Structure 1
């Protein structure tokens, strides 16, 4: 790890003096609040891991303010940026914001929002969400839904797609959130752009029997023949009780589990066929279930093939698998049982080894931020507790966070601290997860003093871009003093340092001084927290 080369860049353009004349305080603008909302569904400076709030207009005050101030186009561009560049933890806030913009009375904003629908809502589930949000917003904003603009957007969504790809899409995701393809095709009065799309529309709205009658004696185009053949295969699978025939169709046409019957999914052989082409993110979520069902057995060829796939660098890169995703899957698999129900399994050693290899290879998928970091781990309390919603101990979670930054950012210092004790840790790229964990907990515990990492940086003249302080204690317990220490650090070194306070076991407390844009709270920890920290470090939120 390299030493910081000097102070960070000058203060942001919106940097202002506060009432006390503190030159290291800058405002939280409407654009920043909007970006927070797009990133994690809240305008506040607190991210709560694994929490999915129901989105309503009251949550999007900054967006409404921007719309009222004539900044609608700018707002739509922000929505597109977060949705398309992978900045958002999940797409729902972006889709909600897009729906809200599409309800706005200003014509250019409304047009821009509708134009962005096809770019953002590429999956049918996202299109259904957009329409549902418009339905919910109808009551708040006292406006209609199925006007000419929405009908055109829906029509364009279907008509702009390759016919064969559309056939696969409508048979995989048939309905979501109370909406179906049949509903929205009828309500939008979609006029198919060609015969192949017309065939799919008829299939969705009228059913397979009417399609067979309508196209039986016609001279069909090449595209229509392809779509007919594909839909015939999907229907054949739906009515087949022949296990071998179903497996052959899955493998030949790359069918997915959503296109099968529930009875098909009782077969081990069917699951083995599905696993071959299943996206790696999905595979990592169901390894335990597949072991419990004996789909994956010790020494079996399917287990061996899966292990090779899990640890293949090219596969990990293509799927953009993050180390924390692998860790979550590995720790859950080691646990030997699901979070709900009675599903239990005995973890297979070869799968555990493959997950371990995949964990270290997946660090190559982490894109550097290019800032200087201090990652400080509070060892004052037991780090044997578990991060809420996971099977990961807080010690292991803290170790992974330090590894991510130490391995990918050139200017990273890792510290372990408690009351009156602080030690700089040597976390190198060749260290294992176990070695990193041991390095972090080697100093004795005591009471918590979250100011020590910041004081250490100040005394050593290290103008840090971002402090990431990890603790098991409630954030409110020691945050006020940390904020004051941060302000002194900024003043003494003339830098715009930021502070992330992460309560690994916290469930909703926040740090003080929420109008300081350089402060962020994280309660709990999940994969989304890495996106939040990245956006924060890049001055996006």
Structure 2
């Protein structure tokens, strides 16, 4: 955020520090909206509600002020730099900009389309948001500008990447590639794109007839061969042939038939190249249907990949992703209760190893951090929507900051005092959890960690307070304590209040941009903390 937006004259905190709270500007609200779909000071984990105009007051205000180009630049930044917890709000905002009355804003939005919508699923969502925004306005959405932008999206793709994309993601949100190519009146600018367009709109037989006797370019020949493989696998009942095609052409699960996925040999071939994120999601299901059995080669493939530093680095797997998947796998059943499995000890060991190795993927915030765990109540409940206990979640957060930030303090606090807590960067997740749960329970006072830092002359940039209590039940608000710490330390201190079991209530109704509440916990919560620490929201 631009520090010039805040001045001491209107009692806001400027870039040199001080005790006044920050003003929550429209720009800040926009950035929160792009990050997690709400302009308020509360992030709710795993909440995937449909975005609407009701959530976008600041976005509308900025557009009315003629700052549409600025909005589009923020949308690009949040999507390209991986700042957005969810992509839906950015796609919604871009759709809104593309329909704004100001020509300059519309042009900027359509120009940004191919940068923001990196795959077909994004493009389909963008088009659907445009349709929803136009409903009730009694006018179409397929004007010249949208037709050109969609046509350019297809024409600017690498031909082989597009061939893979249209065969893996054929339709979403009620739209298909056939719809988009027809409605945009797309005119392919390269022979290979024309071939893919014909394949999507007319089918493989038409393509075969049209290109059989032609002298084709090298690029067209490559795309033709790839599409032939995709068609071949769709009609093959030969297990060996399917396996060979997967291994030779790196085909993915979405390009196969349901019957193919009943074969262990097919799964073994898929697992060699399957993205690790996808592997983590289906471990339980694959163990349940006996695709993964103790001592099998398929199980060994997965264990080797999970423990490969190069594979973890390439996939940029975050340790919290592995922890959440591991605790779910350990649980032995899906959330609906229908799928059950016996967790494999080798897979659990591999996931434990992967958890520690993946710390190399955590991007440090480069700030002075204090993580404080409220141990006034028992930490044996479960974080909503996960299989992770609040004790393990709290231990994981302390470890993530302890291991990746140069200046981190970890405190535990209970009734009336900060209590001794020897969680260190050298501990395992089990040791850190045990350290937190051994402290006796009493009542909660979330001002204690901030007061401790102030009294001990510790300047803190980001306070992260983790509590098992619902946020709205806390009697003492830490807002005043934060203000005093800012005054005493001269730091632009921020505070994240995280109610690990909360489901949607913030701790305080405040207009201080340095305060944020988190209800529940997931990987997105860490992104929100990172963005707040870096003045991005």
Q: Is the pair's TM-score, using the shorter chain for normalization, greater than 0.5?
A: yes
TM-score range, shorter chain: over 0.9
Shift of 1:346: 1.0
Cα 1:448–1:11 change in 2 (3 A) is farther
Q: How does 1:305-316 map to 2 (within 5 A)?
A: 305-316=301-312
Alpha-carbon separation, structure 2, partners of 1:449 and 1:309: 44
Corresponding position: 1:530 with 2:526: yes
Cα 1:165–1:11 change in 2 (3 A) is closer
Alpha-carbon separation, structure 1, partners of 2:87 and 2:339: 30
Q: What residue in structure 2 maps to residue 7 of structure 1? A: none
Corresponding position: 1:344 with 2:336: no
Asked whether the 8 Å contact 2:6–2:12 carries over to 1, the reply is: no
Shift of 1:23: 4.1
* Equivalent residues, number: 532
* Among 298, 301, 304, the residue aligned to 1:302: 298
Unaligned segments of structure 2, at least 5 residues: none
Asked whether the 8 Å contact 1:16–1:27 carries over to 2, the reply is: no
Deviates most, 295-304 or 525-534:
295-304
Asked whether the 8 Å contact 1:268–1:293 carries over to 2, the reply is: no
Corresponding position: 1:228 with 2:220: no
Shift of 1:479: 6.2
Asked whether the 8 Å contact 1:121–1:127 carries over to 2, the reply is: yes
* Among 168, 180, 184, the residue aligned to 1:188: 184
Q: What residue in structure 2 maps to residue 353 of structure 1? A: 349
Q: How does 1:440-451 map to 2 (within 5 A)?
A: 440-451=436-447
SS at match of 1:425: coil
Alpha-carbon separation, structure 2, partners of 1:59 and 1:513: 17
Corresponding position: 1:85 with 2:81: yes
* Among 167, 170, 173, the residue aligned to 2:166: 170
Corresponding position: 1:65 with 2:61: yes
What TM-score do the two structures reach when normalised by structure 1? Answer: 0.95
Q: What residue in structure 1 maps to residue 487 of structure 2? A: 491
* Among 22, 32, 39, the residue aligned to 1:26: 22
Q: How does 1:23-62 map to 2 (within 5 A)?
A: 23-62=19-58
Q: How does 1:37-436 map to 2 (within 5 A)?
A: 37-139=33-135, 144-436=140-432
Shift of 1:143: 5.3
Alpha-carbon separation, structure 1, partners of 2:136 and 2:63: 16
Shift of 1:341: 5.0
Asked whether the 8 Å contact 1:338–1:344 carries over to 2, the reply is: yes
Alpha-carbon separation, structure 2, partners of 1:281 and 1:157: 27
Aligned-residue RMSD, C-alpha: 1.8
Deviates most, 83-92 or 340-349:
340-349
Alpha-carbon separation, structure 2, partners of 1:175 and 1:67: 31
Shift of 1:167: 1.0
* Among 498, 502, 510, the residue aligned to 1:514: 510
SS at match of 1:445: coil
SS at match of 2:101: coil
Asked whether the 8 Å contact 1:17–1:25 carries over to 2, the reply is: no
* Among 463, 471, 476, the residue aligned to 1:475: 471
Asked whether the 8 Å contact 2:12–2:23 carries over to 1, the reply is: no
Shift of 1:339: 1.1
Unaligned segments of structure 1, at least 5 residues: 1-9
Shift of 1:15: 4.2
Deviates most, 228-237 or 436-445:
436-445
Shift of 1:18: 6.5
Deviation string 1:82-140 (CA, Å, 9 cap, x unpaired) is 00001110211111111111111211211111111101111100000111111111136
Deviation string 1:121-164 (CA, Å, 9 cap, x unpaired) is 11100000111111111136665411111111111111112222
SS at match of 2:464: strand
